[in-house]
Amino acid sequence: MQSIWSESCKFRKREVLDKDIKTDTIIIGAGMAGILIGYMLKQNGIDVILIDAAEMASGNTKNTTAKITSQHDLIYDKLISEFGEKKARQYAKANELAIKKYKEIIKERKIDCEFEEKSAYVYSLNEVENIKKEVEELLEYIKSSDQDIVIVSNEIGMGIVPAYALGRHFRDICGRMNQIAAAKADEAYFVVSGIKMKLK
């Protein structure tokens, strides 16, 4: 299935590499990661050639609508269990650094690419325990941090019960995760119309 983004976003066709050339570095894969690496190397005076088996941004970049994020499904609990907390943090930090770099490049070069910062959501109909583990790992990371971090979440349990199953499922999961976060937090507040009520 073709996405609307891939059908509407067209890149200038690049010339085919049909001869021997000399370069300092060759990058295989002309998606967003490859392009950023090539840009960084070029900025440091290194001669770079970027190649791809298909067209530019035709792989993961196309299929994710050029979304850049550090939230890649429910992976952090798995990363921690298989590679350890240090490696999982390195993975998250590297992705956050890449997002920051893209923002800097877009601003510096005044690139009109409709870049927007949006919230990331993860949901599942059958992986509630995995979501719980992910939230708990996040909270453990926050607890070990030397920074004061505030989590803001909607209290959606007091509204109208959604008419559709997915909405009810989301509301239930969100409520459970709010309970876990509040239980582990140093302080918890319920805010209505700008008025706060301290829960703990």
Number of domains in the chain: 3
Is the domain of 105 the same as that of 127? no
Q: How far apart are CA 200 and CA 197, in angstroms?
A: 9
Give the pLDDT of residue 137: 82
Average pLDDT, the chain: 85
Q: List the beta bridge partners of residue 27.
A: 50
Q: Which of 27, 45, 67 is the last residue of a domain?
A: 67
Is the domain of 192 the same as that of 126? yes
Is the domain of 61 the same as that of 102? no
Give the pLDDT of residue 161: 87
38-95: pLDDT as tens digits: 999 999 999 999 999 888 887 777 777 777 888 777 788 788 888 988 898 898 888 8
* Residues sharing a CB contact under 8 Å with residue 59, sequence separation 6 or more, in sequence order: 29, 31, 52
Report field, pTM of the whole predicted structure over 0.75: no
Is the domain of 141 the same as that of 165? yes
Give the pLDDT of residue 5: 67
Q: Which of 67, 94, 109 is the last residue of a domain?
A: 67
Is the domain of 194 the same as that of 126? yes
Tell me which residue range forms the domain holding 86.
68-120
Judged against a pLDDT cut of 70, whether residue 115 lies above it is answered with yes
Q: How far apart are CA 133 and CA 1, in angstroms?
A: 32
